[in-house]
Amino acid sequence: MTHKDEILARLRRRAIPDCPMPDVCLEAITYPDKVKQFTETLRLVGGDAVELTPGDDPNRLLRELYPDARVIASNLPGVTIATVNPDDLADPRDLDGVHLAVVAGDFGVAENGAVWITHNTKERALYFIPDYLAILLHRADIVNNMHEAYGRARVSAGFGVFISGPSKTADIEQSLVIGAHGAKGLTVIIL
């Protein structure tokens, strides 16, 4: 017998009483103003959300938010302040040193400030390695909770991630430090 068969055979001796798969259908929390809830929650977890005023240029806003960013990576057509197209790089390690990455979010989640991002760039390192991350998100694309979110999340090219705020740690005396290994700051630009 292979280990697989051995383990599966042992599992058939289980001792837990029968229990059907429950229907995951519950009245989950919803919010009267999803954009407001999303923004507040995101701030709570150390990130920020900024609404772009109609007619304003996101490039101008990004410049204002990140005046010191010199190496800016983005493969989005409208992001003219980008200095690097990440898809042109041969190796994901070449992304080390990027100050700011500008990426597109699929949708946001009001209850926890997370944004679902699928693979729309060559290397997923783009979402983790830069000092700062800016995510462009349409205001219509904010759902209430994780049930709605998983009803909608599609994985493409074998990868998808919910990112809720910048990376953080409290491993030294439970004292919160923003910026562990991933982004040290995160802004969602709401279009």
Considering only the stretches 61-69, 81-89, 100-108, 173-181, report the one whose residues sit in contact with another protein under the rule CB under 8 A.
Answer: 173-181
User: Alpha-carbon distance 15 to 29, whole Å?
Assistant: 35
Instruction: Determine, following the binding rule CB under 8 A, whether residue 92 of this chain makes contact with another protein.
Output: yes
| Best CA proximity match to 166, nearest among 139, 127, 123, 125 | 127
Among 103, 183, 188, 189, binds another protein (CB under 8 A): 183
Pick 139 or 159: Cβ nearer another protein: 159
User: Alpha-carbon distance 47 to 39, whole Å?
Assistant: 9
Binding mask 115-134 for another protein (x = CB under 8 A): --------xxx-xxx-----
Instruction: Determine, following the binding rule CB under 8 A, whether residue 43 of this chain makes contact with another protein.
Output: no
Instruction: Determine, following the binding rule CB under 8 A, whether residue 32 of this chain makes contact with another protein.
Output: no
Binding mask 133-162 for another protein (x = CB under 8 A): ------------xxx-xxx-x-x-xxxxxx
Pick 123 or 190: Cβ nearer another protein: 123
Cβ atoms of residues 65 and 50 within 8 Å? yes
| Best CA proximity match to 187, nearest among 140, 131, 142 | 131
Pick 62 or 123: Cβ nearer another protein: 123
Q: Phi and psi of 119, rounded to 5°?
A: -80, 100
Instruction: Determine, following the binding rule CB under 8 A, whether residue 173 of this chain makes contact with another protein.
Output: yes
Query: What's the one-letter identity of residue 87?
Result: D
Binding residues for another protein, rule CB under 8 A, total: 74
Q: Which residue intervals of the chain are DSSP H helices? A: 3-11, 34-44, 58-65, 146-152
Angle at the Cα of 151 from the Cα atoms of 149 and 156, rounded to 5 degrees: 85
Binders of another protein in range 60-79 (CB under 8 A): none
Considering only the stretches 22-30, 48-56, 60-68, 77-85, report the one whose residues sit in contact with another protein under the rule CB under 8 A.
Answer: 22-30
Pick 2 or 53: Cβ nearer another protein: 2
DSSP 125: G
Pick 85 or 145: Cβ nearer another protein: 145
Task: Record the tokens describing residue 5, joined without a space.
Answer: 């068969």
